[in-house]
Structure 1
Amino acid sequence: MGVVSYELIVTSPIPPAKLYKALVLDSDILLPKIVPQAIKSVEILEGDGGPGTIKKVTFGEGSQFKYSKNKIEAIDKENLKFSHSVIEGDMLMNGIEKITYDIKFQQSPDGGCICKESSNYYTISDFELNKDQLKAGKEKALGMFKAVEAYLLANPDAC
């Protein structure tokens, strides 16, 4: 098994606590509403929404994937951190055991947010990740981030 790591840093004019609430705490409701072409629905299969919870994400018509099952590893509301893993689904491409994501939202000097995400892809045997697919996946994640940001800018009372 190998591990491929990737880091993404994004800035936003939205304050960190508000962005954390939208992208972590309220994401099950907001994402299908804001980006239905990417996320059709999110349902809890096991748990109460805290660590250990298993969620099924059904992707929208615009996605190349059908679904994923995600496990919440940690939620730290005070420090605006969130960790989860993709443990099942076609996005694992029969060659990835799991994908872990660690996300932290920090205050930027201008009052906005710096969002840092590190991801680790745990490959099975000698499976090699296609770097173009990895890059395309990150661009889609960035597109969802920017869609949520635009929603929050247009709806200042949301979240």
Structure 2
Amino acid sequence: MLKQVSFIFFLIFSSYMRAESQDLKHLTNELEVNVAASRVWELYRHLGISMLTAQQLKNVIQNAQVLEGDGGVGTMLKLTFAPGNLSYTERFIEVNDEKKVKVAKGLEGGCLAIGCSVQIVRFDIVEKTSDSCIIKSDIAYAVKEEFEANDPKPNIQLLAAAAQIAKRFLESSKNDA
């Protein structure tokens, strides 16, 4: 009986993983920062970058609201965009301190509202030297078959702007130290 249950679980899990790993498209932005990767990671690893971006881009982000959690795995974050009628909600599904990787899965809004079936946001902080790194922002997404003709896609510009804000903030605070 246990073997049958294990096999059924394996089949269900395999089907889920196939659905999750369907042909995902990617939009990527990379930005070099002249600050140690560990300092950049401290800003990105929890809620720091989200709150700093919301504070700096008030004309774009009306509100950043933590619905659940403290910035670790399981945290749900809702961004409401100005003028307040569009929003995006995500759940952090991975925060890896060793690899300096943070992954969030879109739950509603964003490209999910215009025909995408999956939206996954990933940040990698890649060390170049002891005093520099690259902020790599990636949005992986899949389009529902019935919306493919419309070619919906997420917008990477907000993540690119967040990386620029992080760069300015961290490089200017490095010079103050």
Against the structure 1 CA distance between its residues 22 and 47, is the aligned structure 2 distance closer, same or farther, given a 3 Å change threshold?
closer
Question: Quick one: distance in 2 between partners of 1:94 and 1:150?
Answer: 33
Question: Quick one: distance in 1 between partners of 2:76 and 2:32?
Answer: 29
Aligned position for 2:51: 29
In the alignment, structure 1 residue 102 sits paired with structure 2 residue 122: yes
Question: Quick one: distance in 2 between partners of 1:8 and 1:29?
Answer: 20
In the alignment, structure 1 residue 57 sits paired with structure 2 residue 79: yes
User: What secondary structure does 1:116 align onto?
Assistant: strand
Question: Quick one: distance in 2 between partners of 1:33 and 1:70?
Answer: 19
Report the TM-score when normalising by structure 1: 0.78
In the alignment, structure 1 residue 9 sits paired with structure 2 residue 59: no
Judging by fraction of residues, say which structure has more helix. Answer: 2
Tell me the CA shift for residue 110 of structure 1: 6.8
Report the TM-score when normalising by structure 2: 0.71
User: What secondary structure does 2:174 align onto?
Assistant: coil
Q: Deviations over 1:112-131 (max 9, x none)?
A: 11122332112222323648
Question: Quick one: distance in 1 between partners of 2:39 and 2:82?
Answer: 25
Conserved? CA contact 1:28–1:43, under 8 Å: no
Q: List aligned pairs for 1:1-159, cutoff 5 A.
A: 3-25=24-46, 26-61=48-83, 66-109=86-129, 111-128=131-148, 130=151, 134=154, 137-156=155-174
Identity %: 16
Against the structure 1 CA distance between its residues 57 and 157, is the aligned structure 2 distance closer, same or farther, given a 3 Å change threshold?
farther
Question: Quick one: distance in 1 between partners of 2:175 and 2:90?
Answer: 29
Number of equivalences: 153
Q: Which has the larger radius of gyration?
A: 2
User: What secondary structure does 1:82 align onto?
Assistant: strand
Q: Deviations over 1:88-122 (max 9, x none)?
A: 01542331122112221121137211122332112
Conserved? CA contact 1:28–1:41, under 8 Å: no
List 4+ stretches of structure 1 deviating above 4 A: none
Against the structure 1 CA distance between its residues 147 and 71, is the aligned structure 2 distance closer, same or farther, given a 3 Å change threshold?
same
Against the structure 1 CA distance between its residues 139 and 19, is the aligned structure 2 distance closer, same or farther, given a 3 Å change threshold?
same
Conserved? CA contact 1:2–1:126, under 8 Å: no
Greater alpha carbon shift after TM alignment, 39-48 vs 143-152: 39-48
Question: Quick one: distance in 1 between partners of 2:156 and 2:134?
Answer: 16
Against the structure 1 CA distance between its residues 36 and 157, is the aligned structure 2 distance closer, same or farther, given a 3 Å change threshold?
farther
